[in-house]
Structure 1
Amino acid sequence: MFKRYRNTWIVVAVILLAVLPLALVNGEFGGADGQAEEIIATVDPAYEPWFSSLLSPPGETESMLFALQAALGAGFIGYVIGLFRGKASRNKS
């Protein structure tokens, strides 16, 4: 029975892995930048940053750009692995 519906079970597992953490965790997801800023403010209250960003996108856009960067990196790594596996199987024949 499992072999017949294997793809269905995989899709259900992926959906559960994506939804359950969002449903079970309460609170804000803060980044390391915000935590570092708080620690710096407690250590040296007179500290002034020496650089400020030219462009400050809203949080949703920043998250989307981060996700896009991760997707492009994963796609590149997958392409390279597939390329090497294809070359290896072609040399084996």
Structure 2
Amino acid sequence: MSERISSPRPRAWVSALLVAAVVAIFALSMALAPRPDDESVEAFGGTDAAATEALAAQGVEPWFEPIFEPGSGEIESGLFALQAAAGAGVLGFALGNLRGRRAERDRQSLAD
């Protein structure tokens, strides 16, 4: 008798390859990124800061001041992450609710 060795489903291989590709992309981008101690590299900044600097150079003044300004960049990043998590939670709740309504409607139509 010959035993047949079962292999994982092809779907699992595709998933594993996709995860490996994503990890490789991030690893390469971090390895090839310029180091912050290099004098020619500026600190990573967003487009908001670049636009604000460009407008200030042209003499444009802001119309209003922010209501709340975080004490540090870490607090600002944390608040942004909290905002993103809250938005993802609301979106997940809405999609789950819509799916539940659809499942209930399908179950009701089968019962009739």
Q: TM-score range by the shorter chain?
A: 0.5 to 0.7
Aligned residues: 92
Moved more, 6-15 or 77-86: 6-15
- Counterpart amino acid of residue 76 in structure 2: E
Q: Secondary structure at the match of 2:49?
A: helix
User: How far did residue 64 of structure 1 move?
Assistant: 1.2
2-structure distance, mates of 1:92, 1:12: 39
| Amino-acid identity (%) | 34
Q: RMSD of the alignment, in Å?
A: 3.0
1:41 aligns with 2:56: yes
Q: Secondary structure at the match of 1:56?
A: coil
2-structure distance, mates of 1:8, 1:22: 21
- Counterpart amino acid of residue 66 in structure 1: F
Q: Which runs of 4+ in 1 moved over 6 A?
A: none
Which aligned pairs between 1:68-87 and structure 2 lie closer than 5 A? Answer: 68-87=82-101
Q: Over residues 63-92 of structure 1, what are the superposed CA-to-partner deviations in whole Å (9 max), with x where a residue is unaligned?
A: 111111111101111111111111101111
- Counterpart amino acid of residue 31 in structure 1: G
1:66 aligns with 2:80: yes
State the partner residue of 2:46.
31
Structure 2 unmatched ranges of 5 or more? 1-7, 35-40, 108-112
Q: Secondary structure at the match of 1:74?
A: helix
Q: Scaled by the length of structure 2, what TM-score is found?
A: 0.58
2-structure distance, mates of 1:67, 1:19: 22
Moved more, 67-76 or 36-45: 36-45
Q: Secondary structure at the match of 1:57?
A: coil
Q: Scaled by the length of structure 1, what TM-score is found?
A: 0.67
- Counterpart amino acid of residue 35 in structure 1: A
1:90 aligns with 2:104: yes
Larger relative contact order (Cα-Cα within 8 Å, sequence gap ≥ 6): 1
